[in-house]
Chain A
Amino acid sequence: MSIWHPDDDGHADLSSHDTFTAGPPHNTFARLRRDDPLHWSDWSGGKGFWSVTRHADILDLNRQTDLLSSARGIRMEDQTYEEYLARRTFQETDPPEHSQTRIKVAKAFSKPVIAGFEGVIRDLCREILDDALAKGRFDATKDIARQLPMRMLGRIIGTPDADLPWLVEKGDALIANTDPDFTDHVLDRMKTDEYRLMPFNSPAGAELYDYAKRLMADKAARGDTDGVLHLILQPGPDGSVISETEFRNFFCLLVAAGNDTTRYSIAAGIHALMHQPGLLDDIRSGAVDETMADEIIRWATPTLYFRRTATRDFDMHGKTVRAGDKVLYWFASANRDEAAFDAPFRVNLGRTPNRHLSFGQGGPHVCLGMWLARLEVRVLFKELAARVQSIEPAGDAQFLRSNFIGGIKTLPVSVTLQ
């Protein structure tokens, strides 16, 4: 399996979504970290881009938002200014504008507020595991990893459980918009620009927005002012109010980003349990409760990269990045950087400190949902380890077709219960 024994030739095409169907090309990342830490790639789908692959370099650049801006797009694809304005969320803004929006929802995702969900999460984990483990053989991504963040999403935004499968299907169509298993509108194979002003260049964005409008109208009719969707509509510290377009895009972001990243962290963790003996015992020992979630999330690195755009020329590693150039921070590479982690290709659930960059640490855009993700992962694996004796592969794992989101989309397993 390529996560454990990468088999790319060290010169993989990072611009190609197909490259990543065999898992991240870690031999290529290792070569770039060693020999070419600021690497230029040409790209047939648009302007070429720089790749930053060392942990220390990403940390150094990520805080310099005046030099490397999020306000021109955060994925590889080029956007016109019109497309940027139509599709942006606060992910695609810089401080201080970013902070004005973020501050409205920070409390809802803060550690003390999220900690209050632990009981709800444990109950959901037990329901999910009751159903899945009873099957003996099943797809662990579909039956476990996909379930927990989807059902928590319903609790966070206040939607009926019956709506969740539809919502998550639409969220997948957005964020996995390069994988034909998840969308009919595969981004790099599309023949139309009809959806270019929609979130993620996808018609699913429009459907989600209609849903959000109905949801907010229903909530208003009931006098329900709970939850993060209400918070985002309130004026910020400077009195600014979010526009209708920004609200649409924020809703899409919640549905898409809150779902697949935690899903693929859980999937990568279950995959690790099958390939590295002793992890289940480590979890059962109780000695890694505080550290295991971060290590699983480091191991998974679901967001492979985020892009920035240079605001002026600068030199680095003997090369010159020009104003307007796209610069990719490859978190997937940084999280396997031998200079930052002992034995980075081993899962060490007790790893301390664990300065992984899966949440985009080191800059203002650090993941808003990181406390929720950590809590979901910790509780799920504690509950799983308490029930199963062993987990074995029951078929080939399949990776998402995306160079942006890394994940095991199909993970056949068979379990032996305790």
Chain B
Amino acid sequence: MKATWILPDGREIAAEVPAGRNLMEAALAANVPGVVGECGGSLSCATCHVHVAEDWFAATGTAGDFEEAMLDVSDTPRADTSRLSCQIVMAPGLDGIVLRVPQA
């Protein structure tokens, strides 16, 4: 399955992501700059913050309470489609998903 990150300068990075892997880990494996994931996906930081492309946002589900709280203290600007990418797990319904990496 495929995921694509659009960087602040417009450059795109696409990667194959196996089902079950979260998109923070996938971004680290693909060396996507701006996605760091300092807490390993345990909702203690917001360094894997992304803006999900509008068309894909509904398919990613909704953020839980702790994710909401961490999005509020993110180091990059929050948008309507903000998610912590560690909380989005690749699945058949997300094949082809597009994420924007916010400008630091």
Question: Which of B65, B70, B72, B73 gathers most chain A CB within 10 Å?
Answer: B73
Of A103, A107, A364, the residue contacting B39 (CB under 8 A) is A364
A63 near B38 (CB under 8 angstroms)? Answer: no
B66 near A103 (CB under 8 angstroms)? Answer: yes
Give every chain A residue within 8 A of B96 (Cβ-Cβ).
Answer: none
Contact with A along B62-104 (1 / 0, CB 8 A): 0001100110111100000000000000000000000000000
A106 near B69 (CB under 8 angstroms)? Answer: yes
Closest to B45 in A: A366
Give every chain B residue within 8 A of A370 (Cβ-Cβ).
Answer: 38
B66 near A362 (CB under 8 angstroms)? Answer: no
Cα separation A4 to B36 with both chains bound (whole Å): 29
Of B38, B40, B43, B72, the residue contacting A99 (CB under 8 A) is B43
| With contact pairs A362-B40, A363-B40 given, residues A107 and B72 touching in the complex (Cβ less than 8 Å) | yes
Closest Cβ of chain B: how far from A342's Cβ, in Å? 15
Cα separation A62 to B66 with both chains bound (whole Å): 20
The verdict on A416 contacting chain B, using a C-beta distance below 8 Å, is: no
Cα separation A363 to B38 with both chains bound (whole Å): 8
The verdict on A361 contacting chain B, using a C-beta distance below 8 Å, is: yes
Cα separation A362 to B37 with both chains bound (whole Å): 8
Cα separation A266 to B6 with both chains bound (whole Å): 36
Identify which of residues 159-191 in chain A touch chain B, using a CB-to-CB cut-off of 8 Å: none
Closest Cβ of chain B: how far from A344's Cβ, in Å? 19
B42 near A95 (CB under 8 angstroms)? Answer: yes
Contact with A along B22-45 (1 / 0, CB 8 A): 000000000100000011111111
| With contact pairs A110-B75, A112-B75 given, residues A362 and B69 touching in the complex (Cβ less than 8 Å) | no
| With contact pairs A99-B44, A99-B66, A366-B44 given, residues A361 and B39 touching in the complex (Cβ less than 8 Å) | yes
Of B41, B46, B69, B74, the residue contacting A63 (CB under 8 A) is B41
Question: Which of A96, A359, A366 gathers most chain B CB within 10 Å?
Answer: A366
Closest Cβ of chain B: how far from A360's Cβ, in Å? 9
The verdict on A59 contacting chain B, using a C-beta distance below 8 Å, is: yes
| With contact pairs A106-B70, A366-B45 given, residues A361 and B40 touching in the complex (Cβ less than 8 Å) | yes
Cα separation A65 to B88 with both chains bound (whole Å): 20
A366 near B75 (CB under 8 angstroms)? Answer: no
Cα separation A353 to B73 with both chains bound (whole Å): 24
Closest to A111 in B: B75
The verdict on A237 contacting chain B, using a C-beta distance below 8 Å, is: yes
B38 near A364 (CB under 8 angstroms)? Answer: no
B40 near A63 (CB under 8 angstroms)? Answer: yes
Closest Cβ of chain A: how far from B44's Cβ, in Å? 4
Closest Cβ of chain B: how far from A353's Cβ, in Å? 7
The verdict on A365 contacting chain B, using a C-beta distance below 8 Å, is: yes
Cα separation A102 to B70 with both chains bound (whole Å): 10
Cα separation A237 to B46 with both chains bound (whole Å): 18
A359 near B42 (CB under 8 angstroms)? Answer: no
| With contact pairs A111-B75, A237-B65 given, residues A59 and B70 touching in the complex (Cβ less than 8 Å) | no
Identify which of residues 53-98 in chain A touch chain B, using a CB-to-CB cut-off of 8 Å: 59, 62-63, 65, 95-96, 98
Cα separation A361 to B86 with both chains bound (whole Å): 14
Give every chain B residue within 8 A of A361 (Cβ-Cβ).
Answer: 38-40
30 contacts between A and B (CB under 8 A): A62-B40, A63-B40, A63-B41, A63-B42, A65-B42, A98-B44, A102-B44, A103-B66, A103-B69, A106-B69, A106-B70, A107-B72, A107-B73, A110-B73, A110-B74, A112-B75, A113-B73, A237-B66, A237-B69, A359-B38, A361-B38, A361-B39, A361-B40, A363-B40, A363-B42, A364-B42, A366-B38, A366-B39, A366-B44, A370-B38
Given A106-B70, A361-B40, 18 other A-B contacts at CB below 8 A? A63-B42, A65-B42, A106-B44, A107-B73, A110-B73, A111-B75, A112-B73, A113-B73, A237-B66, A353-B31, A361-B38, A362-B39, A363-B44, A364-B44, A365-B44, A366-B39, A366-B44, A371-B75
